[in-house]
Chains A and B, each alone.
Chain A
């Protein structure tokens, strides 16, 4: 649906348009909330965000895109909850390298050279790889299993193509931490492709 049409319908109070909005953005908003406050409060935060969206949509001005506006709302709700609970959840995931990841010390010799040659791929064309249905399933599965902050940073950066600056403020993490999160997520997905190239499955 065209965004301008959608906004007009939403402002007019069209219930069907609002349901459509939920179906389009619920998953993304849930990823953001999970990254900031963790699993326990995420559902509640998103639910509260929808209430806020519903109440404020009439005053929505097209200064920002609808998506940016929604992301800001869920991010602010989650941050407010985080302050209330006064605990940091998401940054735990930044500690240390995950064993078995590409950057694991065991993959490198003492002098920092690769221990083993980097796995070669028989298919290197992105177009051809996109045709592989099983690979899509594997990637999706892995993406959903990533630690919440990694998942959200990756979705915002590589799928939604948001700027690093915006991601920092949405997720409440420093620029260097966003970079680390995105890099780790990419490396994990790269390993999925490694395995798929070798075995044809996840």
Chain B
């Protein structure tokens, strides 16, 4: 018989359908008998649903500055290549 602590640790895996069949049954058996863990798993499921719909508000992104740095870097590399005609063999993704 699983303890509440074990069920609480496995709850995400259970919700993500990522537990083996025997383990899945053990969790379901526990949930059948334990109102606290049922509530816990239910709340976790709501949390997951809520998360899917989160609008990420990150600290303001300064697109223009990033763009400027990018242009500078490209210019630098260009002039470097023009100065010494060494072939570039950097591997790129």
Binding site for B on A (CB under 8 A): 15, 18-19, 22-23, 26-27, 30, 47, 50-52, 54-56, 72-73, 76-77, 102-103, 107-108, 111-114, 117-118, 120-121, 124, 126, 129-130, 136, 139-140, 143-144, 154-155, 158-159, 161, 164, 179, 182-183, 186-187, 189-190, 193-194
- CB neighbors of A among B49-93 (8 A): 49-59, 61, 63-64, 66-67, 69-70, 73-74, 77, 92-93
Q: List 14 A-B contacts (CB under 8 A).
A: A27-B56, A50-B70, A51-B74, A102-B40, A108-B4, A112-B3, A112-B5, A118-B40, A121-B43, A140-B56, A161-B52, A164-B18, A189-B51, A194-B43
Main secondary structure of the interface of A (DSSP, over half): helix
B28 on interface, CB distance cutoff 8 Å? no
**Do A183 and B39 touch (CB < 8 A)?**
no
Please indicate the chain B residues that have their CB under 8 angstroms from the CB of A118 in the complex. 36-37, 39-40, 43
Residues in chain B within 8 A of chain A (CB atoms): 3-6, 8-9, 11-13, 16, 18, 36-37, 39-40, 42-44, 46-59, 61, 63-64, 66-67, 69-70, 73-74, 77, 92-93
Chain A residues, CB < 8 A from B49:
126
